[in-house]
């Protein structure tokens, strides 16, 4: 049976991206096409998305006079060759800045309205509001789409179908939590103001609503699916995870092998494959040049990350002197907390030629770093899946990771047994603190100077399969099960 699924996401690569959600939403259509599932993606009409629809996006395929009070229309386009729908609600989405925050990084005050309206539109579309487009299931991602299951279940449009829903948590830390007073403007029945509905700790919880009301909850790695049952990782929603545990699935993200393939990557100075690692040297030279690093034969560590507490970047800042002391160099690309940015810039000033820092978001440079760095540092305090370690593995840039979430599920630590068996792909640290990270860095530096062992780490990672094949099949099986259940 060929299924039709509406995937509802607030970002999707390559049109708009702030993190891993975009990579996943951008890759799902192709991953699921291989499983006989047709995915249409719904995105908000940010300026960057509207611009890429071209100068003449064509006639609207649907119009709302007042979608939760805002005039809106639906435009059609394509995302990587697959069907795309864009909610063009100018008052809400057509503004300069990021998808969730203004240019200074401050969240938009009306985010609750922006994404409630987006979810309302998604529920209408999934219910059959748009002529000629029907769907068997809706797959909503993260808090921005959390109200979709609520609208579908409790406020379907007149005559609309109710289709099953899957809700994927890409990060439990972002919950879309708002004051109780916004509830009256969501267009939901008063009966949903309860702990079994959208209420959460006295306010409205968008993520919580998705988790409470979707027919299935998925998160992006098996280990994180287990971790969010605990107080440490559940961020206040662990009770709900436990209550619905028979509906929670961990499905690992894959990588988009069209975008991230070292043999074809247009962003690299030199392309390469597992049997041709020497070509990586040219990419390393490019990094040295870009980051003002002196050339030598020690390991070149890289970072491509949001600069935040979650990512353990404060801990990395503590151990940079140690990293340099072991003969390592560091090239860091990231944006995030202003204080962390300053600390990294200060480290670069302290270690000229040894530490180079680029504050900013640069897709091409991210590829270049993976293609020429020796090891990528990912000391996250929690990591639902993580993609940068997967890109590292695919590009022969050995990941040094903390043992949590998807990092634990995808990197095989170079302990003596794994080295002897020839299966190791990276280095794991047991805790996120300066001592543990420093010792991981020392371990990496030692291994780096054993060229046979290091090359084995690189090639093991490059040969591992992190494509979407297995995970695409897992999502398709889940969709089919839910549709069958609903009969």
Our finding on whether 258 is near ligand ADP (CB under 6 A) is: no
Q: Do 482 and 164 contact (CB within 8 A), yes or no?
A: yes
Residue 117 or 305 having the CB closest to ligand ADP = 305
Give the interface segment with ligand ADP, choosing from 29-37, 136-144, 302-310, 315-323 (CB under 6 A). 302-310
Return phi, psi of residue 103, to 5°: -60, -25
Q: Is 304 in the site for ligand ADP (CB under 6 A)?
A: yes
Taking the complex as a whole, the smallest distance from the CB of residue 338 to ligand ADP amounts, in Å, to 15
425: Cβ contacts below 8 Å, ≥ 6 apart = 393, 398, 399, 411, 412, 414, 457, 460, 461, 464
333 binds ligand ADP (CB under 6 A): yes
Question: Taking CB under 6 A as the rule, does residue 318 contact ligand ADP?
Answer: no
The residue nearest ligand ADP at its CB is 20
Residues 398-427, interacting with ligand ADP (CB under 6 A): none
Q: Which CB, 107 or 363, lies closer to ligand ADP?
A: 363
Q: How far is CA 403 from CA 30, 111, 436, 446, 465, in A?
A: 30, 34, 11, 20, 20
Residue 51's Cβ-count burial label (10 Å; 0-12, 13-18, 19+) is exposed
Least spacing, CB of residue 391 vs ligand ADP, in Å = 6
Closest distance of CB 207 from ligand ADP, Å: 15
Phi-psi region of 416 (alpha: psi -120 to 50; beta: other; left: phi over 0): alpha
Stretch that binds ligand ADP, among 102-110, 272-280, 383-391, 428-436 (CB under 6 A): 383-391
277: CB partners within 8 A, 6+ apart: 396, 455, 458, 459
Which helix (H) or strand (E) segment is 37 a member of?
Answer: strand 37-44
Site string for ligand ADP, 348-367 (x = CB under 6 A): -------------xxx--x-
Shortest spacing between CB 177 and ligand ADP, in angstroms: 19
Q: Which of 165, 223, 335, 404 contacts ligand ADP by CB under 6 A?
A: 335
* Residue 306 binds ligand ADP, judged by CB under 6 A: yes
Instruction: State how beta strands 137-141 and 165-169 pair.
Output: parallel
What DSSP string runs through 411-425? --B--HHHHHHT---
- CA distances to 30, 217, 300, 398, 462 from 263, rounded to whole Å, are 20, 36, 21, 17, 11
Cis-peptide, bond into residue 366, ω within 30° of zero: no
Pairing type for strands 329-336 and 300-307 reads parallel
CA-based R_g, the chain, Å: 23
Rule CB under 6 A: say whether 305 interacts with ligand ADP.
Answer: yes
> Does 388 help bind ligand ADP (rule: CB under 6 A)?
yes
334 touches ligand ADP (CB under 6 A): yes
- Count of residues in contact with ligand ADP, rule CB under 6 A: 17
Please report how close the Cβ of residue 20 comes to ligand ADP at its closest, in angstroms: 2
Helix axes 451-463, 434-448, angle to 10 degrees: 100
Q: Does 330 bind ligand ADP (CB under 6 A)?
A: no
- Closest distance to ligand ADP from the beta carbon of 335 (Å): 5
**CB of 369 vs ligand ADP, minimal distance in Å:** 9
Comparing CB distances to ligand ADP, the nearer of 255 and 320 is 255
Separation of alpha carbons 247 and 166, rounded Å: 10
Cα(166)–Cα(475) distance, integer angstroms: 9
- Six-digit token string for 307: 């600069």
Site for ligand ADP in 10-39 (CB under 6 A): 19-20, 23
3-class SS of residue 151: helix
Min separation Cβ 325 and ligand ADP, Å:
26
145 or 335, CB closer to ligand ADP?
335
Whichever of 238 and 362 has its CB closer to ligand ADP, that residue is: 362
Nearer CB in complex with ligand ADP: 162/342:
342
The answer to whether 387 contacts ligand ADP (rule: CB under 6 A) is yes
Binding site for ligand ADP (CB under 6 A): 19-20, 23, 304-306, 333-335, 361-363, 366, 385-388
């Amino acid at each position: 049976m060929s299924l039709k699924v509406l995937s509802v996401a607030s970002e999707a690569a390559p049109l708009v991206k702030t993190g891993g959600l975009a990579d996943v939403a951008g890759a799902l259509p192709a991953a699921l096409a291989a499983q006989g599932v047709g995915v249409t993606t719904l995105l908000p009409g940010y300026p960057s998305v509207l611009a890429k629809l071209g100068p003449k996006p064509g006639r609207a395929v649907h119009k709302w006079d007042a979608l939760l009070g805002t005039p809106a229309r639906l435009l059609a386009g394509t995302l990587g060759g697959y069907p795309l729908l864009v909610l063009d609600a100018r008052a809400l989405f057509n503004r300069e800045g990021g998808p969730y925050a203004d240019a200074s990084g401050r969240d938009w005050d009306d985010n609750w309205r922006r994404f409630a309206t987006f979810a309302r539109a998604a529920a209408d579309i999934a219910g059959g509001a748009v002529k000629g487009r029907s769907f068997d299931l809706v797959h909503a991602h993260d808090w921005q789409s959390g109200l979709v299951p609520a609208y579908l279940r409790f406020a379907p449009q007149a005559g609309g179908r109710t289709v099953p829903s899957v809700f994927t948590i890409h990060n439990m830390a972002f919950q879309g939590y708002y004051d109780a007073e916004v509830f009256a403007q969501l267009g939901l029945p008063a009966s949903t103001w309860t702990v079994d509905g959208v209420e959460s700790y006295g306010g409205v919880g968008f993520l919580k609503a998705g988790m409470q009301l979707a027919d299935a909850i998925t998160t992006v790695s098996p280990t994180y699916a287990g971790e969010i049952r605990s107080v440490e990782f559940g961020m206040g929603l662990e009770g709900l995870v436990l209550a619905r545990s028979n509906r929670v699935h961990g499905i690992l993200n894959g990588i988009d092998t069209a975008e991230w393939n070292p043999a074809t990557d247009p962003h690299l100075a030199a392309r390469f494959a597992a049997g041709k690692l020497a070509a990586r040297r040219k990419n390393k030279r490019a990094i040295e040049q870009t980051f003002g690093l002196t050339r030598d034969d020690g390991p070149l560590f890289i970072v491509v990350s949001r600069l935040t507490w979650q990512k353990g970047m404060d801990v990395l800042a503590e151990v940079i002197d140690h990293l340099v002391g072991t003969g390592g160099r560091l090239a860091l690309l990231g944006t995030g907390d202003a204080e962390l940015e300053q600390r990294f810039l200060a480290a670069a000033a302290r270690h000229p030629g040894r530490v180079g820092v680029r504050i900013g978001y640069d897709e091409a440079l991210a590829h270049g770093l993976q293609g020429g760095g020796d090891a990528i540092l990912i000391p996250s305090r929690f990591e639902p899946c993580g993609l940068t370690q997967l890109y590292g593995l695919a590009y022969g840039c050995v990941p040094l990771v903390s043992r949590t979430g998807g990092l634990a599920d995808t990197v095989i630590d170079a302990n003596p047994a794994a080295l002897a068996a020839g299966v190791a792909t990276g280095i794991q640290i047991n805790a996120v603190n300066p001592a543990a990270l420093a010792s991981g860095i020392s371990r990496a530096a030692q291994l780096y100077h054993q060229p046979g062992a290091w090359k084995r780490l690189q090639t093991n990672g490059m040969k591992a399969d992190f494509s979407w094949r297995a995970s695409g099949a897992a999502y398709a099986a889940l969709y089919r099960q839910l549709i069958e259940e609903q009969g």
